Amino acid sequence: MVLEEEMRIAEKAARIAGQIALDLIHDGTIDFKANDEGPVTKADRAADLAIREILQQAFPSDHLITEESFQKGLSIPEQGRIWFVDPIDGTSYFVKGEDDYAVMIGLVIDQEPVLGVVFQPSTGILWRAIDTRQASQHFPPHYFSERLQANTLEPFSIDITHQDIVGDGPVAVTSRRNPSQFIDFLTAELEVSSIIKKGSIGLKLALIADGKADFYLTSTKRMKLWDTCAPSVILSAAGGVIKSLDGQRLRFFGSIEHGTEIYATTPCCELWLKERLPKAIKKWQHHLTST
């Protein structure tokens, strides 16, 4: 299998980091990052270090970008192999003892996300994917997206290529603790059938890949590359779509922030959104100028 060793190491690192999170979930050591970047715990730092040590030992020539070791102002190179790591995505949920957090490890080769692992320690569920279709100059085109339940050796293949919209209208997945008037306005205008509130973005996109939700929208332009790398591979390899709100492919070089709002969706729901989302956004813009 293409990237078989990389996947084996990434899975191993994710599970070890997940166990560290479980071991330290009641530690209670919480700091706050500068510039309103949220909380960080002893578990974040320990899991980050464990993943870095594993990846550096296995792939010493690769670039490694992790949330807890990233130096502000660093420019992400356009070429080469780059690992993006979020040791605990959803720290605010983790510190409250909730299960809406995940370990996320992704690999980009020459700007193309090709491998992703998202592991939910509290349930033992692991999502993994490889997608080399856009990186065929390096590898033969190959892709798969799978979910591994806890304590099972048999993965479930994920494919939402031909999945219809879940309910009478699409099911949206939104943030549990980051309220947004923009997202509330859009989901109301789009007349979604229901809303699922979730923490980690990795778990949000996993809901779409699993066929339990139809789309996700962000209200922030500050989403980091380590937030999207791993789950974007899982979703795209399953047949889903993740883009900037203006329809552009996400870039994985330069700034650590995407600098744009993002949407993720099933293929069927993407067509539905293309007809309705621009009108809803225009109404939002009119709402802002008239208030």
| Chain centre distance of CA 31 | 24
Average pLDDT, stretch 82-91? 96
Q: Provide the pLDDT for residue 115.
A: 98
Q: What is the largest CA-CA distance in the chain?
A: 57
What is d(CA 224, CA 214) in angstroms, rounded to the nearest whole number? 22
Question: Could you give the percent of the chain with pLDDT greater than 70?
Answer: 96
Q: Provide the pLDDT for residue 1.
A: 67
Condensed to tens digits (0 to 9), the pLDDT of residues 28-38 reads: 677 766 555 67
Average pLDDT, stretch 65-73? 91
Q: What is the dihedral of CA 276, 282, 283, 285, to 10 degrees?
A: 150
Q: Provide the pLDDT for residue 139.
A: 80
Same topology for domains 4-157 and 171-290, yes or no? no
Compute the mean pLDDT over every residue in the chain, rounded to the nearest whole number: 92
Q: Is 139 helix (H, G, I), strand (E, B) or coil?
A: coil
| Residue 121, pLDDT above cutoff 70 | yes
Q: Is 157 helix (H, G, I), strand (E, B) or coil?
A: strand
Q: Which CATH class is domain 4-157?
A: alpha beta
Three-state SS sequence of 218-257: CCCCCCEHHHHHHHHHHHHHCCCEEEECCCCCCCCCECCE
Burial class (CB in 10 A: 0-12, 13-18, 19+), 16: middle
What is d(CA 105, CA 43) in angstroms, rounded to the nearest whole number? 16
Quick one: which of 247, 234, 176 has its CA closest to 205? 234
| In the chain, where the domains are located | 4-157, 171-290
As its CATH architecture, domain 171-290 has: 3-Layer(aba) Sandwich (3.40)
